[in-house]
Amino acid sequence: MSLKSRLAEDRVLVAPGVYDALTASLATDAGFEALYLSGAAIAYTRLGRPDIGLVSMTEVAETITLVRDRVATPLVVDADNGYGNALNVERTVRLFERAGASAIQLEDQSYPKRCGHLQDKTLIGQGDMVGKIKAALDARRSAETLIVARTDAVAVEGFERAIERASAYAEAGADVLFVEAPRSANQLAEVTKALGHTRPLLANMVEGGDTPLASAADLGALGFRLVIFPGGIVRALARTAQAYYGSLAKAGTNTPFADRMFDFGELNALIGTPEMLARGRAYEGAERAPAGAMEGSAQ
């Protein structure tokens, strides 16, 4: 089922954050129907830096390609502010769509951007963002590739202006609306009341961020159709890694930490090493085998 078809259903969809092929495969194995490729998570893990516009378009495109080579799960991709003006947005959409993005998220921040839950953000004009959305729609090759329009106006211009901006982005043709960082449960409810009849709505859950945490079920009951947890995996892994390195530095061995990690065989089983080696053996000596022999050996 395509992401577009899934969002048309009257039930909430959860997309956990991923940042590489391994996390994408683990999330897929856990049963998620969609994934969210987080620009912040790429910055955290690939650069060891905050989400302040340091990640490039090509770095994200490369990550999409690697994730798509590993899993077929629908992928919502964080494209920041399109990495420039409307012409940059066109190139971004073409590149990300070819790489395998199912949905491309664009925000109305200026350049360089900041994480939606950091302070001192600045925005481009509403008209300029409308132009970017139209450029994105013109650049995509398939209507199945969704354009997600995000506004960061709550923190900059206030809640009412955020609703006005999101309404304008819906009129411009955006497929999904994302009002970033509502400050209260009441504001979350007001987002769905004002915009729920226009487009599917996305809610962003950030541990320690500006928006109060809620379950996907509760957000779905409010009227949100898509709920993302973009950076949770990095926060979980960073805490585990910090504990692991501290243990190793103190003990000089992994023995004290062994019950909190996979061993060599378990990790290889998880990533499919035996199956891949078996597939490789099926091709060995292919140049000497009769034409029909390979077909039988691969079954």
For 150-216, give the DSSP string: EE-HHHHT-HHHHHHHHHHHHHHT-SEEEE----SHHHHHHHHHHHTTTS-EEEE--TTSSSPP--H
107 and 152 in contact (C-beta within 8 Å)? yes
pLDDT score at 289: 53
Q: For residue 103, give the H/E element and its range.
A: strand 103-107
Q: Which pLDDT does position 119 carry in this prediction?
A: 74
pLDDT recorded at residue 272? 96
Residue with tokens 């309404």: 167
Q: What is the pLDDT of residue 296?
A: 46
The amino acid present at 280, given as its one-letter code, is: G
Q: Cα–Cα distance between 258 and 96 in angstroms, integer?
A: 40
Series of mean pLDDT values for 10-residue runs along the chain (299 residues): 95 98 98 97 96 94 98 98 97 98 96 73 95 98 98 95 98 98 96 97 95 97 98 97 98 98 97 96 74 48
Helix, strand, coil percent values for the chain (each to nearest 5):
50, 15, 35
The pLDDT value recorded for residue 250 is 98
AA identity, residue 272: G
* pLDDT value of residue 33: 98
Token pair listed for 75: 């992928």
Helix ranges restricted to H, 10-145? 21-29, 39-42, 57-70, 86-99, 126-139
| 150 neighbors 190 (Cβ within 8 angstroms) | no
Spatial distance between the Cα atoms of 195 and 68, rounded to a whole number of angstroms: 32
Find out whether 191 and 176 touch, Cβ atoms under 8 Å. Answer: no
pTM for this model (two decimals)? 0.92
